[in-house]
Amino acid sequence: MSKLVTIIGGSGFIGRYITRRMAREGWRIRVAVRRPNEAIFVRPYGVVGQVEPVTCNIRDDDSVRAVLHGADAVVNCVGVLVEAGRNTFDSVQAQGAERVARIAAEEGIEQLVQLSAIGADAESDSEYARTKGQGEASILENFPNAVILRPSVVYGAEDEFFNRFAGMTRMGPVLPVVGANTKFQPVYADDVARAAVTAVLGQAKPGIYELGGPEVKTFRELMKDMLHIIRRRRAVVNIPFGIAGLMGRAFDLLQSASFGLITPPLSADQVRNLRHDNVVSGDVMTFEDLGIAPTAHEAVLPDYLWRFRPSGQYDAIKESAENLRAD
């Protein structure tokens, strides 16, 4: 019988790429999510019965144990960018990661892969980065042979980075950003999935890997790349950190006052994160150690950002017509 992998958060942005690749490898897959009826779309990633969404609450021992029982490997993709209700940074990224590693060790699972993030640091002033770092420490304490993947900002058809800012260009002539000079190393979601699959197959040395794309660019430069692709002219305006911090705190209060019904466009914690460059440090292993050549973002962004062009899918046709008239 083929091996079984449990992918916690396997229907999420990065998780679905890992699920698809593991299906191609012939593994049986449990996609462990909070709402399995909303993850039915993963079933066609494999043959009938190969990929199955199951219920899992990463905050509960019994729930995690149930989805890990009998598995050969586990990949934990769960994380939160904004706290909502009981899904806090601490409960999901610190306690949740510890729970997965502890129970995986108790269940005798062979491989554990954790999706973390560049900047993870148990001493950070950012709650997001601090809990990511605490989660990593707990994983290595309970499962020393784990593989931890720290990607920079991840892009892909379902991303919340380029899609978000491309959507904002429809609202006016100005594109506001916080930390215009902060550096990023965008990494393709499918390249992160390749790294995770390599680790699940036992072809990666245990330890921490920082995953960045082939180019390091500032936030402003990335926005200019995006604007070129979507054929729009917008002024990229930097919001100073001081003002952004005040905005973030105001949005945090609004979220609290609405009992979490309103998702803020910016939080104070995100502003703290944007003060730091999000690039490979050179202190740990990278794609090179996995034998993977990362994809340049310019090669992928046009495939899904075309819909933000002024004429959408007809933009290329209009450009061809204009060239013919010019001739």
pLDDT by position in tens, the chain (length 327): 689 999 999 999 999 999 999 999 999 999 999 999 999 999 999 999 999 999 999 999 999 999 999 999 999 999 998 888 889 999 999 999 999 999 999 999 999 999 999 999 999 999 999 999 999 999 999 999 999 999 999 999 999 999 999 999 999 999 999 999 999 999 999 999 999 999 999 999 999 999 999 999 999 999 999 999 999 999 999 999 999 999 999 999 988 888 777 778 899 999 999 999 999 999 999 999 999 999 999 999 999 999 999 977 666 666 655 555 655
Q: Which long-range contacts (C-beta less than 8 Å, at least 24 apart) are formed by 18-23? A: 18/75, 18/77, 18/192, 18/193, 18/196, 18/197, 19/45, 19/51, 20/45, 20/193, 21/190, 21/193, 21/194, 21/196, 21/197, 22/197, 22/200, 23/50, 23/51
How big is the chain, counted in residues?
327
Rounded to whole angstroms, the Cα distance separating 315 from 160 reads 23
Give the CB-side neighbour count of residue 115, counting CA atoms within 13 A.
30
Specify the CATH architecture of the domain 4-156+186-214+278-294: 3-Layer(aba) Sandwich (3.40)
Query: Quick check: 37 and 59 in contact, CB under 8 A?
Result: no
The pLDDT of residue 262 is 78
Residues forming a β-bridge with 174: 235
Residue pointed to by tokens 């006052």: 257
pTM: 0.93
Distance of CA 285 to the CA centre of its chain: 19
**Could you report the per-residue pLDDT of 12-48, keeping only the tens digit for each?**
999 999 999 999 999 999 999 999 999 999 999 999 9
Rounded to whole angstroms, the Cα distance separating 112 from 8 reads 11
Residue pointed to by tokens 């921490």: 208
**Where are the domains positioned within the chain?**
4-156+186-214+278-294
The pLDDT of residue 265 is 87
Rounded to whole angstroms, the Cα distance separating 66 from 210 reads 31
Residues forming a β-bridge with 209: 149, 285
Rounded to whole angstroms, the Cα distance separating 151 from 161 reads 14
